[in-house]
Structure 1
Amino acid sequence: MRLVLIMTAMLSLVLVGCSSSGTVYKPAEERGAYGYTETELGSDRYRVTFTGNSRTDKETVNDYAMLRAAELTLQSGYNWFHLVNRDTEGKTRTTGGISAINDFGGHTAVYQRCGLVSCDTVVTQTPSRLSGGVSTSTTRTNYQASLEIKMGKNPMPDDAEAYNAQELASTLRRWIGQKSK
């Protein structure tokens, strides 16, 4: 029984370690994967999307989408962009299961199974009576920000939804650098 609990605890630590970092600012490997994508909607219009993992908060996902919009604007030879539309959605997923089984009066067998090259230690438990298990559940939310932008060259319109691409990119890069320290 102790071995089962120890193995469960070790597996939990490994899984937590693998999932402890937020999404890195990078292009997504495919549509729907973590990172940014863009779709050209016209010569000066794009849809920019950033998808984060469950460790990336909503604010960071929105900032990464805005950073990509600013970079794309500059790469396309424009100075500013106007937000035509913006949307952020969260997808929540709950998972659960039995993390340990209480065993009263069972039998534990430990033996070695050897092949031609190596031996394995095998542990089996045969419970005589099950009293139940410990049920756990985990809720995770992944955020995705989507922006539709229209790019332009100077002069920039006097509008709250118009952004100077160079200034915004510089500010967001500085903020991201401070946050990752």
Structure 2
Amino acid sequence: MRLQWAFAILLSGLVAGCSSTGTTYQPADERGAYGYTETELGSDRYRVTFTGNSRTDKETVNDYAMLRAAELTLQNGYNWFHLVNRDTESKSRSSTSISGINDFGGGTAVYQRCGLLSCQTVVSQSPSRFSGGIASSTTRTNYQASLEIKMGKDPMPDDAEAYNAQELASTLRRWMGKAAK
């Protein structure tokens, strides 16, 4: 029995550890999934989107979108890009769980039964009533940054929304290296 408990605790720790990290800088498997996507809007225009999970803060999501814009600019043979449009959306979802209900006779009991990968809400009608229980509520927020860029070659315009792609990519990669340590 102790071995089963030790295994369950170890496995739950591993699952929790996997879900505790932010989205890494990577291409998304599909549109709307975590990571970056890009859509060509013209020969020198793109929409770049980065979607983070609930552990990826807004600033990191914006930085990853900018890094992808810089990389895309360089890959297409351009030196700089101009931000035509920038938008950051947030999506929040809340969940409530109730645990630790003791059954003492008479009423309806509502509780969550959780396994390793999911939870199930259970409502039971019985001649018994319940007492006790702890309710907890969690709100998770995901951010998505979307940029529309126009790429160009020298000379770069003297504009606050124009970025040297090589310098920006280098700066953001250096920052990401320090943040990972």
Same fold (TM over 0.5): yes
What letter is aligned with 1:33? A
**SS of structure 1 residue aligned to 2:172:** helix
Gaps in structure 1 of 5+ consecutive residues: 1-5, 106-127
Runs of 4+ displaced beyond 3 Å? 9-16
**Cα distance in 1 for residues equivalent to 2:104 and 2:17:** 32
**Cα distance in 1 for residues equivalent to 2:13 and 2:141:** 20
**Cα distance in 2 for residues equivalent to 1:103 and 1:12:** 27
Deviation at 1:17, TM superposition (A): 2.2
1:59-74 counterparts in 2 under 5 A? 59-74=59-74
**Cα distance in 2 for residues equivalent to 1:155 and 1:40:** 23
1:131 paired with 2:126, answer no
**Cα distance in 2 for residues equivalent to 1:21 and 1:100:** 29
Gaps in structure 2 of 5+ consecutive residues: 106-127
Q: Deviations over 1:36-83 (max 9, x none)?
A: 000000000000000000000000000000000000000000000000
1:155 paired with 2:155, answer yes
1:93-132 counterparts in 2 under 5 A? 93-103=93-103, 130-132=130-132
**SS of structure 2 residue aligned to 1:62:** helix
Q: Which of structures 1 and 2 has the bigger CA Rg?
A: 1
What residue in structure 1 maps to residue 44 of structure 2?
44
What residue in structure 2 maps to residue 92 of structure 1?
92
Identity of aligned residues (%): 82
Q: How many residues align?
A: 153
| Alpha carbons of structure 1 residues 77 and 171: separation in structure 2 relative to 1, 3 Å | same
Deviation at 1:100, TM superposition (A): 1.9
**Cα distance in 2 for residues equivalent to 1:137 and 1:166:** 44
**SS of structure 2 residue aligned to 1:101:** strand
**SS of structure 1 residue aligned to 2:176:** helix
1:173 paired with 2:173, answer yes
**SS of structure 2 residue aligned to 1:95:** strand
TM-score by length of 2: 0.78
**Cα distance in 2 for residues equivalent to 1:129 and 1:16:** 33
**Cα distance in 2 for residues equivalent to 1:26 and 1:86:** 20
Deviation at 1:146, TM superposition (A): 0.2
Deviation at 1:14, TM superposition (A): 5.3
| Alpha carbons of structure 1 residues 148 and 80: separation in structure 2 relative to 1, 3 Å | same
Deviation at 1:13, TM superposition (A): 4.8
**Cα distance in 2 for residues equivalent to 1:64 and 1:92:** 20
**Cα distance in 2 for residues equivalent to 1:85 and 1:23:** 23
Measured on the aligned residues, the alpha-carbon RMSD in Å equals 2.2
Instruction: Give the stretch that moved more between structures: 146-155 or 132-141.
Output: 132-141
